[in-house]
Amino acid sequence: MEKPKPAGYFEGESMTRRGAFTLGGQAVGGLAGVALVLPLVGFAVAPILDTPEERWEKVGNVDDFDADVYRPVITTIRSGIGEAGKTTVYVRQGSIDLEEDPNTFVAVSTRCAHLGCPVRFVRAAGIFSCPCHGGAYDFEGKVIGGPPVRPLDRFQTRVVDGQVEVGPRYSVTGDLEPVRARDPGEFTGGIWEYLYPPRPSTPPAPPS
């Protein structure tokens, strides 16, 4: 026997009245949900896409820095949050012994390439040493011991009116080739450049 037709049925309909209203109600509810959730998700993740201002901080006179020893300077990488926005940077003059241009300056980040603890330059040994998990780096910042996965990051430098200025951060490969800045714990060079993508707003690496 044929099923009885629902109330309001008319010949040739492909969908019951109830079915149409159910679908319509769910569609409106779904749209309202999406209209609420999408802006909130965007609100929470937007900072990832923000491009921070490019800061150049004066850190001292050209004469203040030597080629054979680092001098610690304190720079601000994020303003308005007090001590939490500051970091120590080790700066030296380019060294002829290391085939660097003596008119340039090298600024090495204190952010350990393992998990981001602050490393310290030990002058007597000529190495960088990390207090957290025992990472050790040589004079150029290359890993000589412990868990770090790549050499210490660097900051771009320039000389303006006889003043050394420290600019955006960049990371380096094991051979000190500049690449775009990565977070600590992330490998650089080769396939790792794709497995650890930099955030879209990261400035390009300086030419080597």
Partner 1 sequence: MAKFPDTLIPPPLRKPAKPGQNGHRNGNGASPNGDSEEKSVVVEKLKEAPVDLVGWVDERTGASPFLTGMLLRKVPKGTNWFYTLGSATMFAFIVQALTGVFLAMYYTPSPVEAYASITNITNDVFMGEFVRGLHKWGSSVMIILIFLHMGRVFFFGAYKYPRELNWVIGVVLIVLTLVMGLTGYLLPFDQRSYWATIVAMNINGTGPIVGPYLADFLRAGAEFESTTLSRFYALHMLLVPGAIIALIGAHLYLVVKLGTTAPPWVRGDTKPKSLRKEKVG
SS3 99: coil
Is residue 153 within 8 Å of 114, Cβ to Cβ? no
53 binds partner 1 (CB under 8 A): no
CA torsion angle 43 194 183 141 (round to 10): -160
DSSP 40: H
Chosen residue from 73, 171, 202, 205 binding partner 1 by CB under 8 A: 202
47 binds partner 1 (CB under 8 A): yes
Site string for partner 1, 16-45 (x = CB under 8 A): ----------------------------xx
Query: Taking every pair of C-alpha atoms in the chain, what is the biggest distance, in angstroms?
Result: 102
Task: Report d(CA 112, CA 129) in Å as an integer.
Answer: 9
DSSP 11: T
Q: Closest distance between partner 1 and the C-beta of residue 50, in Å? A: 6
Stretch that binds partner 1, among 31-39, 57-65, 81-89, 158-166 (CB under 8 A): 81-89
132 binds partner 1 (CB under 8 A): yes
Q: Which is nearer to partner 1, 106 or 130 (CB)?
A: 130
Task: Report d(CA 61, CA 57) in Å as an integer.
Answer: 12
Residues forming the site for partner 1 (CB under 8 A): 44-45, 47-48, 50, 52, 77-78, 80-82, 84-85, 115-118, 132, 181-186, 195-199, 201-202
